[in-house]
Amino acid sequence: MGKLADLTPEVKVEPCKAGRLLIELDKDDADILAAAYDDTRWTPFSLAKALQERGIRITADTIRFHVRKSCRCSRT
């Protein structure tokens, strides 16, 4: 097998809005949000509403897709 046999271009996938928040927030807030994504007591709607009350614009559908791993973050 030659040196270039497995040569493929790197596929860059931009994270969804829910994933970007985890990157953009400071570490403490990102940890809290990551835990909220995993906490089944939060519905996507109630979490989106709580975030919107804190000035973070995000929809319940965006959160739902991210939590279900149906968003583009899961394509990496």
Which tens digits make up the pLDDT trace of 11-43?
788 999 999 999 999 999 999 999 999 999 999
Confidence tier at 76 by pLDDT (50, 70, 90): low
Enter the pTM of the model: 0.81
What does the DSSP assignment read for the chain? --TTTT----------HHHHHHHHS-HHHHHHHHHHHH-TTS-HHHHHHHHHHTT----HHHHHHHHTT-SGGGG-
Domain ranges of the chain: 17-75
Q: What is the mean pLDDT of residues 2-19?
A: 87
Tokens 């969804």 sit at which residue? 16
Percent of all residues in the chain with a pLDDT value above 70, rounded to a whole number: 97
